Amino acid sequence: MLISYNWLRELTGTTSTPREFRERLTMVGLAIDAVDELEDDSILDVEVPSNRPDCLSHIGIAREVSVIEKSKFSDPQAEISNLKYKVPRTEGKASDFTSVEIKDLDLCPRYAARIVRGVKIGPSPAWLAQRLGALGQRPINNVADITNYVLHELGQPLHAFDLAKLTEQRIIVRRAKAGEQLKTLDGVERTLDAQMLVIADAKLPVALAGIMGGEASEISEATTDVLIESAYFNPDSVRRTARQLGMDTEASRRFERGADCENVLKAQTRCVELICEIAGGVATEDAIDVYPAPLPARTVDFRPAKVESITSLRVDLSEMMRILTALGFTSGESAKGNTLTFAVPSWRADVSIEEDLVEEIARHVGYEKIASELPPSNVSGEYQPTEMKQRSLRRALKDAGFDEAINFSFIDTAHDEQFELIPGLVAEANNVGFVALKNPIIDEATRMRPTLLPGLLESVRHNLNHGIRDVRLFEIGRVFAKSDTGELPNERDALALIATGGATEEGRAQATREFDFYELKGALEAGVEAMKLGPLGFAGDSIKHLREGQSAPIYLPDGTKLGSIGRLSEAIAASYKFRQPIYVAELDLTALLESRECATQYKPLPRYPSVVRDVTLLVSRDVAFQQLRNAVDSEHIADYSGTKLVGTYEGQSIPEGKRSVTLRIEYRSDERTLRDEEVEERHRALIDSLVKKFHAELH
């Protein structure tokens, strides 16, 4: 909202400089974004809060200024509200020349029309053109400029029709008929719907109510008689129509936020006064004012003690009264006990409760006068129950070389069937109800993501496109699916990892090794271990979005399926034009965090040395390491203390379909040092058993 400093000075007699205004208005809640210094005026750009349409006018700002500058006025509010307008020459009744009918009172509770006959349309006098020009408004003609002038002065949008161009000189306020056309003043042909309120003559719409007039009834040089419209339109109706038609005008901006219904006649009188003075003509003695159901006067009960209890400010009652009175609130003489009743001025639709009045007083006393202290504390702070675990997880993944990604929560529907979703999100994997956005902002992104993977794949693509080939990312975020009951959608927290390229060292260009499945698995295990959860279980099995033979479901120790890990399928990789292997994992973090924590339990240090024996078995490639290890564990050998992998080998000298697996078996007793021979004996028995169980050969 642009405010002319000169105009403000005229209204208030202030001597403050524009700079001083910047600070003072800001501190009463009217932030000044900028002060534009013109040659002979300064223009203040005021950011008016959405609940204060009364400040979208010079009179409104002047009222605030008069409260701020109390010393300069005996009764500033009276001066402002008593502005009396005098129309020099009147003749006849408005009803002699026109008629007004409101068909939709819900959208237009009040409409007033007054006629001025015999005007001389021409350019505005210099002072008027200049004043509007300073506010960024291009001068049009004297009558149109005067309506705009009054809008800036009093905040009431007005419209002037060429009376002769209104069929039967009638005004009908009604909803448009669906498909009805209206060419607005900006030259655009508008097609209307049945929700939009229009001003019509006997036949056709002549203006979009509260937004813009029509071209057909526009004031021209040939105009002699004008009809001045002053009305109150329903804010929601104006907002809806303006949005729908993509329009935003000085008028619509004010009606949308709420004009002052009691300002209708005053503004109209002011407008007619100026027209007669500047463009000549004779006004009708009265206006047709259709206002069948006047808005009730509103009052607010106010306990002065509330000012201190809410704000901690101590304010004298007389100062409270001064502020509220200057703002236009009036109080009945009789205070009932500690309560005063204030009548709310018609321009303050935002005030309805006691707290509103407390704010009025507080902002004019000054927020800066409010003390600053911490509330007395009788509680202790607490993190979310899983926060520390999540912090450990994030840091473990970070240490493992993964950067944390955050992607938008909405993705393309093209990914709908591509991925196997985490089990916690949907009851049945093959019957997923996806959550869709009704009004997306990014065209393709209408799906609330049921998986984090498409976002991470997009991030990898972005990086590869920028020449970064070694990328490791993780993301923790919410995933969504429809609930079975049709209530609010299911929401779960998911964890996803993605890795491609090679493992690099800080400050060195060459990757030390290429990523593989085990890098990703290791990072995931490190993250889970850092939370003292797991250990996770993995089993070779196929997963929709992963490459056959390099994929595994992930399980909790109790066998609950959590998600999946593996190499991205060729089909999906090809759709992204990835030419290097991509490894991904995703799991249900909510379920993981709910799982049981591993307790730390001290075990005495070994007192006797251990004996280790390696065994290399030639087995079918289908035999998994975990099967072998489980088999060793389940032999229950005396003094057996654990198995580790030494390595696997396939290739030269190994028959097709087979591989060799070398295990290191550790034996240790808590009572004594084991003798070689006894270990040898047990080890040999173990080997025999393994050979039999897995049809293995020794290698």
Q: List the interface residues with another protein, window 5-34 (CB under 8 A).
A: 26-29, 31
Give whichever of 265 and 310 is closer to another protein, judged by the CB atom. Answer: 310
CB of 49 to another protein, least distance (A): 4
Which of 350, 650, 666, 678 binds another protein (CB under 8 A)? It is 350
Q: What is the DSSP letter of 214?
A: B
Rounded Cα distance between 661 and 644, Å, is 11
Q: Give the count of residues interacting with another protein (CB under 8 A).
A: 95
Q: Which helix (H) or strand (E) holds 453?
A: helix 453-465
Contact call for residue 3 and another protein (CB under 8 A): no
Q: Indicate the pairing of strand 158-162 with strand 189-191.
A: unpaired
Nearest distance from residue 356's CB to another protein, in Å?
6
Cis peptide before 535 (omega within 30 of 0): yes
Q: Which amino acid is at 24?
A: R
Give the one residue of 20, 37, 285, 403 binding another protein; rule: CB under 8 A: 403
Q: Which is nearer to another protein, 239 or 322 (CB)?
A: 239
Element (H, E) at 480: strand 471-481
What is the smallest separation between the CB atom of 301 and another protein, expressed in angstroms? 13
Q: Is residue 466 involved in binding another protein (CB under 8 A)?
A: yes
Secondary structure of 271-302 in HEC code, one letter for each residue: HHHHHHHHHCCEECCCCEEECCCCCCCEEEEE
Interface of this chain with another protein, residues 642 to 681, rule: CB under 8 A: none
Pick out residues in 545-574 that bind another protein (CB under 8 A): none
**354-383 positions binding another protein, by CB under 8 A:** 355-356, 358-359, 362-363, 367-368, 370-375, 377-383
**Should residue 104 be labelled a site residue for another protein when binding is judged by CB under 8 A?**
no
CB 365 within 8 A of CB 323: yes
- Per CB under 8 A, contacts with another protein among 488-517 are 488-489, 491, 503-508, 512
Please state the closest distance from residue 478 (CB atom) to another protein, in A: 5
- Binders of another protein among 578-617, rule CB under 8 A? none
Integer Cα distance of 62 and 72 in angstroms: 13
**In the 3-class helix/strand/coil scheme, how is 386-410 assigned residue by residue?**
CHHHHHHHHHHHHHCCCEECCCCCE
* CA dist., res. 350 & res. 180, Å (int): 35
Q: Which of 305, 437, 539, 685 binds another protein (CB under 8 A)?
A: 437
**Amino acid in the structure at residue 21:** F
DSSP 356: H
Show the site string, 309-348: x = touches another protein by CB under 8 A, - = not. xxxxx-----------------------------------
Interface with another protein, residue 484, by CB under 8 A: no
Specify whether the CB–CB gap between 80 and 59 falls below 8 A: yes
CB of 489 to another protein, least distance (A): 5
497 in Cβ contact with 397 (< 8 Å): yes
Question: Chain-centre distance of CA 84, in angstroms?
Answer: 46
Q: Exactly one of 19, 37, 49, 648 binds another protein (CB under 8 A); which one?
A: 49
Bridging pattern class, strands 170-175 and 99-102: parallel
Q: Decide: helix, strand or coil at residue 619.
A: strand
Candidate ranges 4-12, 143-151, 282-290, 402-410; the one touching another protein (CB under 8 A)? 402-410
- From the list 122-130, 337-345, 398-406, 687-695, the region that binds another protein by CB under 8 A is 398-406
Q: Note whether 223 and 119 are within 8 A (CB).
A: yes
Which CB sits closer to another protein, 220 or 413? 413
Q: Which stretch binds another protein (CB under 8 A): 197-205, 455-463, 558-566, 600-608?
A: 455-463
User: With respect to another protein, which residue has the nearer C-beta, 278 or 396?
Assistant: 396
**Phi-psi domain of 658 (left: phi exceeds 0; alpha: psi -120 through 50; beta: other):** beta
Is residue 406 near another protein by the rule CB under 8 A?
Answer: yes
State how far the Cα of 598 lies from the Cα of 330, in Å rounded to an integer. Answer: 70
Tell me which residues in 228-247 interact with another protein (CB under 8 A).
235-236, 239, 243
